[in-house]
Structure 1
């Protein structure tokens, strides 16, 4: 993976950790509406995303395709009761998991990253879906992961700013 991307990911993790820890337990519980996620639930979703993408990043190195199971993100958040979890613990888990994903990205061979795969389901599971007929690479999926992460971090920070 190119150094600029890896540095951006590392910087995202480091700067977000500081901002996340500045959010109080009470602020992390606030929902704008009953059907909307709180900061805790958003961060929980990002932890779930890290877990699912970890699985994808490893399997992609052991397979010729990029076909992975999807998951029901709302049910995952609901079942794990992130709203009841400790905010600092969630932040710590989120940071540790993403530092590990950074490591996985760093050690993935360039040839594996760049290899275009015709068989994939990123048209169903990626944050920025691609057409079914377009061959795609693991590098695209890893970049997509970071953009999804940044999108939800921005939601968390906006939610926190609205209630500070």
Structure 2
């Protein structure tokens, strides 16, 4: 299944599956809403708006280099979808961002970072990876949810989950 097909199908499936509960709710589920924090900064953002997207880019910036990049929208949608699935089936969680964009210099000092990391910007400044910690939810639960679409990379670590957008599904476990 291609990622665009998944995201479109998942949106339709969640909306159809939620019709009964929508009668009791005033808010329609959305794949553009994220509740994220980095350090002391916490935002509930709608990245479909210019302001929300800029906030997401700022939160995912390379802190060491103080550089803001261009987060891939499909990556943000996948994070929003995973957060919604966790809320519906496990518990509501805020995603604590531990890493987003990395410059080459920052990537070179990150222990275990791949030379061709998806955190690195491409020629347009776009990057395709996030490392997040679900606050109050087991890391393994989040990793399983992120693996469900069967595209992209998902890495499980002691303190966070890495996920990225790529053509082929890849998983790894660095907890052991």
Q: Tell me, yes or no, whether TM beats 0.5.
A: no
Q: Which has the higher strand share?
A: 2
Q: Which has the higher helix share?
A: 1
- Higher normalized contact order (CA 8 Å, seq sep 6+, divided by chain length): 1
User: Structure 1 length normalisation: TM-score?
Assistant: 0.33
